[in-house]
Amino acid sequence: MKDDRSDALPDLKRWRQEVEGYLELAMPEMAEEALEALPSGLAEHPLVLDGRLAVLMHRQAWPEAVAVGLRGCAAAAGQPSFFIHTAFCLHEMGRTEEAHLLLLSGPAALHREALYHYNMGCYLTVLGRRNEAQDHLDHAFRLDRGLRDFARKDRDLEALWPEI
């Protein structure tokens, strides 16, 4: 028996790019229309969850984004982006310790991501764990040098600005 979800993959990839394009053009209502046009049977596909999460983050609908992101973490447990984005949403809601713990629970592939280390640095700084934060930030800067300039303006890292 054929899996309808696998048949839809090329179309879903094209659809996901369309959603991203709408968001880049600051047209979230068009991205939402594209979401609504999908068959309901695809609602839990990781690409669909990723698109829905992107729209909700764009709208800063943090609680809804966390719910969708956690479904994405379960549906695609090896995909670092769901963990990074869901943790960010938790942090935006003031639930920084939960964000930190979610990242810790993620796949090993996260440790190769500059954004993982950067966000861990932010969360640990906010939690008052400056030494651990600095270690993660140093790692992030080795992986992506451009993050250092961003860090110098990031309010979450204000306590570390002299060292950055």
Q: List the CATH number of the domain containing 12.
A: 1.25.40.10
pLDDT-based confidence at residue 19 (cuts at 50, 70, 90)? confident
Sign for the CA dihedral angle at 14, 19, 20, 21 comes to positive
Confidence check: pLDDT of 5 > 70? no
| pLDDT tens readout for residues 88-109 | 999 999 999 999 999 999 999 9
* 79 and 145 share one domain: no
- Under a CB-based contact definition with an 8 Å cutoff, are residues 113 and 140 in contact? no
Expressed as residue numbers, the domain containing 128 is: 113-164
Q: Whole-angstrom Cα distance, residue 5 to residue 19?
A: 19
* 117 and 152 share one domain: yes
Q: Whole-angstrom Cα distance, residue 1 to residue 16?
A: 26
Average pLDDT of the chain, as a whole number: 92
Of the listed ranges 34-38, 59-63, 77-81, 128-132, the one predicted with least confidence: 34-38
134 or 1: which leads in pLDDT: 134
Does 104 fall in a domain?
A: no
Confidence check: pLDDT of 4 > 50? no
pLDDT at 7: 56
Does 71 fall in a domain?
A: yes
* 72 and 137 share one domain: no
